[in-house]
A and B are shown apart, each in its own frame.
Chain A
Amino acid sequence: MNKKGRKQTVAIITHVVMISIGVVMLYPLIWMLFSSFKTNVEIFGSTALLPAKPVWDSFIKGWKGIGGVTYTQFYSNTFKMVIPTVLFTVLSCSLVAYGFARFRFRGKKILFMLMISTLMLPNSVLIIPRYILYNKLEWLNSYLPFSMPALFACYPFFIYMMVQFFRGIPVALDEAAKIDGCNTFQLYWRILIPLMKPALFSAAIFQFIWTWNDFFNSLIYINSVSKFPIVLALRMSLDATAAANWNQVLAMSVLSLLPGTILFFSAQKYFVEGVSAGSVKG
């Protein structure tokens, strides 16, 4: 076999392997999607991927929720929790990143190192005292435990990512703006923020999906069903239905992943850019 032919064969084999891995990885998700249209008997009765006779009532019945609280409520709760958290994160982290990236002040290096080291601070060691603190502040059973840390830039990962991005923007731009009489905030808001869009988007998307799926914190801070975000509702439905209504649980699980999926596919490039930006230089 000549060299070119051999190269082609290798490429084909590689593609076959990669596609096979992809299929194995995505099959569970695809199975979940199709199974939510199956009857309960069929879900565990057959290995066929496609439902023999698609049913919709899993969605309709599942949506009715638990204890008189519907998924309309759970959805709106989740948005009430996620939206302020995302907005605050983007705003505060970009301000802090701007401070770190564009000013030279005493102690900056130490503060920056401190900020980075909090990346390693395990949540488990903070969660108990935070719970006590929020209890005293009467923040429990509200969404403030999510939005307030965001308002105060407690997400070092995003700050770091944005600092890296700021560094990629030429300082000459700042100088020109200064000469034109911009103050520091005008420089940030009018000149740099528009250029930061990719970084801001990727932080927003990550924070949206992370907060949306944040089970541990929701479990601890939210305790009345009427305030449950979707993740807690799902977990409760799993307990409540014990055996019978698998397709409803699956249907609601599918719906819970929908906003994140839409976001992921509509803003894919920001995702990969965001993940890569954070680490490569470090």
Chain B
Amino acid sequence: MIKKKQKKWNNIGYLYILPWILGFLIFQLYPLGASLYYSFTEYSITNTPTFVGLKNYTTIFTEDPLFYISLGNTMKYVFMSLPMKILAALIVAVILNQKLKGINFYRTIYYIPSIFGGSVAIAILWRFLFMSGGLVNQMLNGLGISSVPWLSDPQFSLFTLSLLSVWQFGSSMVLFLAALKQVPEDLYEAALIDGAGRIHMFFKITLPMITSVLFFNILMQLVNAFQDFTGAFVITNGGPLNSTYLYALKLYDEAFKYFKIGYASALSWILFIIILIFTAVFFRFSEAATYYEDGGEF
């Protein structure tokens, strides 16, 4: 009797997660399937999709130089901004964790750019700061250094956009800081007694203890960086000479400027698969390296 009642109580759980189940089906699973289907069709909203097999994919790989340009730019962008960002977040978190006074104050300050970083207002600010006569160049000139074409030279433009991303290291930093606080103090004390140096302790104790957060940070930032749009769109609009034409811009142009829905869907699936491969490789790698205190049980 009691067992039955308990079971009934537990089954009500389905009712509570129902909104998510519906949301998952309507706004995630259906779109995922639909875009896969569209990717094999020729479709431009006004007409009905007509099945064309792999044509979109072969066109992308064989006849679309902008695909390779945007993919290359995105790779460069990801591998330029991500290590800098993660490293900055980790270093600052480690310093803040040294029982520094005013840690809350610093944490707040460093976190602010992360909150607004993705906004148009900040993109506009970045454009103003790095314009040829902008504040950054004015300051460089003041120091006797000649102006740098931050946004107008293809050599620098992608780097300038990466700086905007690195500037927002705060959110990763907060996560690192929370993880660092969980590292048991006695581990360090034991190491000190053994005469270990600080750098040695960092690599032998701190880093292994926070790997799960490190991987979480890298993964989330990776997925986001592959899809970054606002900066490249507002600050440089893909230019100069397509040097900041990121994959997300390519996707946007094909889908919402030319309304080549089928073609754009194929592009989105290629990106999705690239992200999946990165994630999978990463998981394999992180599983081997992660240390779980509780054995990783859920």
Q: Which residues in A have some Cβ–Cβ distance to B below 8 Å?
A: 11, 14-15, 17-18, 21-22, 25-26, 28-29, 31-32, 35, 43-44, 46-47, 92, 95-96, 98-100, 102-105, 108-109, 111, 114-115, 118-133, 135, 148-149, 151-154, 159, 178, 184, 188, 209, 212-213, 215-216, 219-220, 231, 234-235, 238, 246, 249-250, 253-254, 256-257, 260-261, 264, 268, 271-272, 275-276, 279-280, 282
Q: Which residue of A lies closest to B17 (CB)?
A: A99
A184 interface neighbour in B9, B121, B227, Cβ under 8 Å: B9
Provide a sorted-by-A list of 7 A–B residue pairs whose CB atoms are within 8 angstroms.
Answer: A124-B268, A129-B38, A149-B23, A153-B19, A154-B23, A275-B178, A276-B175
A164 smallest CB distance to B (angstroms): 12
Q: Are B32 and A125 in contact (CB under 8 A)?
A: yes
Q: Are B34 and A132 in contact (CB under 8 A)?
A: yes
B191 smallest CB distance to A (angstroms): 19
Query: Which listed segment binds A: B51-59, B75-83, B101-109, B154-162?
Result: B101-109
Closest 3 CB pairs of A and B: A103-B13, A152-B23, A99-B16
Q: Are B251 and A124 in contact (CB under 8 A)?
A: yes
- Decide yes or no whether B125 CB sits under 8 A from chain A: yes
Q: Are A122 and B227 in contact (CB under 8 A)?
A: yes
A279 interface neighbour in B38, B111, B178, Cβ under 8 Å: B178
- Decide yes or no whether B129 CB sits under 8 A from chain A: yes
A275 interface neighbour in B21, B112, B174, B298, Cβ under 8 Å: B174
A105 surroundings in chain B (CB, below 8 A): 10-11, 13-14
B139 surroundings in chain A (CB, below 8 A): 47
Interface size class of chain B, counting residues whose CB lies under 8 Å from the partner chain:
35 or more
A209 smallest CB distance to B (angstroms): 6
- Extra contacts, 16 of them, besides A124-B227, A215-B234 (Cβ < 8 A), are A14-B100, A28-B167, A44-B134, A92-B20, A99-B17, A121-B28, A125-B32, A125-B35, A129-B32, A129-B38, A153-B23, A215-B229, A216-B230, A238-B127, A246-B128, A249-B124
B10 smallest CB distance to A (angstroms): 5
- Decide yes or no whether B197 CB sits under 8 A from chain A: no
Q: Are A238 and B124 in contact (CB under 8 A)?
A: yes
Q: Which residue of B lies closest to A214 (CB)?
A: B118
Q: In this complex, which of B16, B125, B220 has the most chain A Cβ atoms within 10 angstroms of its Cβ?
A: B16
Q: Are A128 and B268 in contact (CB under 8 A)?
A: yes
- Decide yes or no whether B279 CB sits under 8 A from chain A: yes
A276 interface neighbour in B126, B178, B255, Cβ under 8 Å: B178
